[in-house]
């Protein structure tokens, strides 16, 4: 009877997660927010023992998320990102360095300050990309820049995770921790690049054939999990292993079949991961409330300013720069993953992530209207200027002579 009740609670939870995400999306609130809210609410009616049934999805969430992010890239595409390094660097300098220094000023230790800066820095890939699609702005001038900076942030965040995880385990930044972590990352990158050059072309035809099998999902899921867990055991982030594995996948039929087999499981696992992030968090007011409020304020202002500067460096016009800067505020999955490394950081990060995701989503919707209001289209500017002229200043067209009959 108790097992049946637990099973019923979990199924009711999944239905509630769908309904909440469905209805909140109608008012432009991203699914991540709905999953976090359900996590908070569920603390009052689902015992911790019941959630053990879905612990596996929580563990798989990060690995599948970064595997699918890796599928969007290739080594060739990563090498062609030279044009985005200046905007990406400006975004990093504005949104990581000042927050690290601010956290140190408020008395946080070195490791906690690095984690807070890591939470603050990256915009949400899933929220921004989804909003670009939902509001049909993929063809707009800013879409290419926003996606480029998202890629840059993804790569930096993956490296940050790989460095921060061993730092959190040691509890302090040992002199040898950073060089060893960077050396491991470099070795792993070289190994995966060699696999891409020499192994993948040889097994590409087999992969295409094998991916047509319905049972291919078992091999795919098992192999992806093994790579992710192995990286974690090596002292690196499972996100880095899953990402590089996704990059290895050739852009042939195997990629389409992978997306067909695993996309639904990925969505389920990511939703459960965000649910657990909120479910396992304490519902208390942060001790450093002033710091949290300042963090939220700077989370909006610094992202707007840094993205405007990035758009300027990218060569965009003033109107496009303004529209771009108002479209990049939401924080999401990377912030949640970094915050989950440390309970103290998680408590500070929850209101920050929720606030910036909500404010950023609404700013994204309002961005074109605000840009049109400040920089109206040429026709509107001419009509406005004509209305502002006095009657004496308006020159009427000369009378035409009567037409001859």
Tens of pLDDT, residues 203-228:
999 999 999 998 998 999 999 999 99
Class of domain 49-388: mainly alpha
N-term to C-term CA, the chain: 101
* Residue-averaged pLDDT of the chain: 85
- Predicted pLDDT of residue 66: 82
Distance CA 191, CA 186 (A): 9
Distance CA 332, CA 125 (A): 8
Average pLDDT (259-274) is 87
Q: How confident is the model at residue 167 (pLDDT cuts 50, 70, 90)?
A: confident
Contacts of 332 (CB under 8 A, 6+ apart): 30, 32, 123, 124, 125, 126, 127, 353, 357
Q: Degrees (nearest 5) of the Cα angle 34, 290, 281?
A: 35
Distance CA 363, CA 28 (A): 11
Q: How confident is the model at residue 384 (pLDDT cuts 50, 70, 90)?
A: low
Share of the chain above pLDDT 90, in %: 37
pLDDT, tens only, 84-93: 889 999 999 9
- Predicted pLDDT of residue 403: 46
- Predicted pLDDT of residue 234: 82
- Predicted pLDDT of residue 405: 37
What sign does the CA torsion over 166, 172, 174, 179 have? Answer: positive
Domain locations in the chain as residue ranges: 49-388
Share of the chain above pLDDT 70, in %: 89
Contact present, 274 and 35 (Cβ < 8 Å) = yes
Average pLDDT (322-347) is 91
Average pLDDT (308-330) is 94
Q: Is a pLDDT exceeding 50 seen at residue 319? A: yes
Average pLDDT (111-117) is 93
Distance CA 97, CA 105 (A): 12
Average pLDDT (109-131) is 90
- Predicted pLDDT of residue 382: 57
Range of weakest confidence among 41-55, 162-176, 286-300, 315-329: 162-176
Q: How confident is the model at residue 329 (pLDDT cuts 50, 70, 90)?
A: very high
pLDDT greater at residue 398 or residue 196: 196
- Predicted pLDDT of residue 171: 65
Range of weakest confidence among 19-23, 181-185, 317-321: 181-185
List phi, psi (to 5°) of 310: -60, -40
- The whole-angstrom distance between residue 359's C-alpha and the CA centroid of its chain comes to 15
Average pLDDT (47-65) is 84
Q: How confident is the model at residue 396 (pLDDT cuts 50, 70, 90)?
A: very low
Other C-beta atoms closer than 10 Å to the C-beta of 294 total: 14
């Amino acid at each position: 009877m108790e097992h049946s009740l637990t099973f019923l609670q979990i199924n009711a939870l999944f239905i509630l997660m769908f309904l909440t995400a469905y209805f909140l999306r109608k008012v432009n609130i991203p699914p991540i927010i709905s999953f976090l809210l359900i996590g908070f609410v569920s603390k009052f009616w689902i015992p911790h023992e019941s959630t053990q049934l879905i612990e596996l999805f929580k563990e798989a969430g990060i690995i599948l998320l970064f595997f699918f992010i890796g599928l969007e890239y290739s080594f060739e595409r990563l090498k062609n990102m030279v044009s985005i390094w200046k905007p990406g660097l400006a975004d990093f300098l504005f949104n990581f360095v000042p927050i690290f220094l601010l956290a140190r000023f408020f008395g946080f230790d070195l490791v906690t300050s690095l984690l807070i800066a890591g939470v603050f820095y990256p915009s949400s890939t899933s929220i921004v990309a989804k909003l670009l699609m939902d509001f049909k702005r993929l063809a707009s001038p800013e879409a290419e820049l926003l996606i480029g900076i998202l890629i840059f942030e993804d790569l930096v965040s993956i490296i940050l995770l790989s460095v921060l995880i061993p730092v959190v385990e040691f509890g302090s930044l040992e002199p040898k921790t950073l060089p060893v972590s960077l050396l491991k990352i470099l070795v792993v990158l070289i190994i995966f690049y060699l696999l891409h050059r020499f192994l993948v072309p040889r097994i590409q035809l087999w992969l295409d054939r094998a991916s047509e099998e319905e049972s291919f999902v078992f091999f795919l899921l098992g192999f992806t999990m093994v790579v992710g867990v192995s990286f974690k055991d090596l002292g690196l982030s499972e996100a880095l292993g899953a990402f590089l594995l996704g990059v290895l996948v050739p852009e042939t039929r195997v990629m389409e079949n992978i997306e067909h087999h695993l996309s639904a499981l990925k969505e389920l696992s990511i939703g459960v991961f965000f649910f657990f992030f909120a479910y396992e968090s304490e519902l208390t007011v942060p001790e450093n409330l002033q710091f949290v409020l300042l963090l939220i304020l700077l989370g909006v202002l610094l992202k707007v300013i840094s993205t405007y500067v990035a758009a300027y460096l990218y060569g965009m016009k003033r109107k496009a720069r303004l529209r771009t800067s108002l479209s990049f505020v939401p924080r999401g999955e990377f912030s949640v993953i970094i915050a989950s490394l440390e309970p103290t950081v998680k408590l500070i990060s929850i209101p920050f992530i929720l606030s910036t995701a909500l404010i950023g989503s609404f700013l994204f919707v309002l961005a074109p209207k605000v840009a049109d209001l400040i920089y109206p289209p040429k026709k509107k500017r001419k009509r406005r200027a004509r209305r502002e002229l006095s009657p004496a200043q308006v020159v009427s067209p000369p009378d035409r002579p009567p037409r001859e009959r």
